[in-house]
Amino acid sequence: MIKILLTGINGHMGAAVRKAVSNTENAKVAVGVDLNTAECDGIPVYSSFAEVTEKPDVIIDFSHPSVLDSLLEYAKENSVPCVICTTGLSKEQISKIEFYSKEIPVFFSANMSIGVNLIIDLVCRAAKILENNFDIEIIEKHHNQKLDAPSGTALAIADAISEAVSYNPEYTYDRHSVRKKRDAHEIGIHAVRGGTIVGEHSVIFAGTDEVIEVKHQATSKEVFAVGAVRAAIYLANQKPGLYAMSDLIANS
Ligand SMILES: NC(=O)c1ccc[n+]([C@@H]2O[C@H](COP(=O)([O-])OP(=O)(O)OC[C@H]3O[C@@H](n4cnc5c(N)ncnc54)[C@H](O)[C@@H]3O)[C@@H](O)[C@H]2O)c1
């Protein structure tokens, strides 16, 4: 039985992870860390890692960027692998994750859905073929409670395309402050916020007289929770290193 420490246990994704774990035979949420320490299905919840006395096998984190430092320190001190799903992390925080992954197994993905990771693969192939004749724009849509914009997934898609094409694209965020024609070697990134949209990402390749659009739509938060639980079970037996959804897909 794999014992999970769930950071953000009382949040929306925390609830989705608890549900996904309850449908998994060989795992259980043993302890939670959350600023909101309300009782949760009989699972002990602490406001910080310093208070945790249980010994988890793996951490799943769906919380807030401010949690990262104490999470990595706790994980290293106690040799606990961690699946980091929180988005809106700074470049410095991502470098920190890479640094800690030399000592502990860390799984880090801005999007835990297998479908999104598949479209990243597809759009990279399309970008290579279309790179000289098509303009690339990314549009993401999320619910009105989301804090960060653009989404970590939109940036991950843009970064993957940047690595796939032969030029070095510049990112243009929205266009209200830019009064000039678009450059052929840029990627436009646009965020829409509203209602309860779970998550939508479209990559548009606009050429002369033709447009190709590759789109992924998540209709429930469960897809991210199920992906995170699969990642946690996979990571619990790995050596130190940095792991991503591509590793999980390759080994499933
Ligand atoms: N990687 C993915 O696939 C994916 C998918 C969905 C959401 N997310 C990300 O997961 C995070 C959480 O999303 P959510 O919708 O559950 O948010 P939420 O606001 O519903 O829940 C966040 C929880 O974290 C807790 N929290 C905040 N700051 C804390 C702190 N300093 N210490 C301890 N607990 C703290 C809050 O009390 C809350 O219970 C966000 O960053 C979101 O973008 C990632």
Same-domain check for residues 38 and 124: no
pLDDT tens string 218-227: 999 899 999 9
**How many whole angstroms from 196 Cα to the centroid of ligand 1?**
16
Ligand 1 within 6 A of 111 CB?
yes
Same-domain check for residues 108 and 154: no
**How many whole angstroms from 126 Cα to the centroid of ligand 1?**
33
Same-domain check for residues 148 and 138: yes
Range of the domain at 73: 2-112+221-250
Ligand 1 within 6 A of 83 CB?
no
Q: What residues act catalytically?
A: 142, 146
What is the domain-level CATH number for residue 126?
3.30.360.10
Find the angle CA(224)-CA(40)-CA(112) to the nearest 5 degrees: 10
Ligand 1 within 6 A of 85 CB?
yes
Helix (H) or strand (E) holding 208: none
User: How remote is the C-alpha of 219 from its chain's centroid?
Assistant: 16
| pLDDT for 110 beyond 90 | no
pLDDT tens string 30-76: 999 999 999 888 999 999 999 999 999 999 999 999 999 999 999 99
Ligand 1 within 6 A of 65 CB?
no
Same-domain check for residues 56 and 72: yes
The residue whose CA has the least distance to atom 8 of ligand 1 is: 86
For the question of whether the overall pTM of this predicted structure is more than 0.75, the answer is: yes
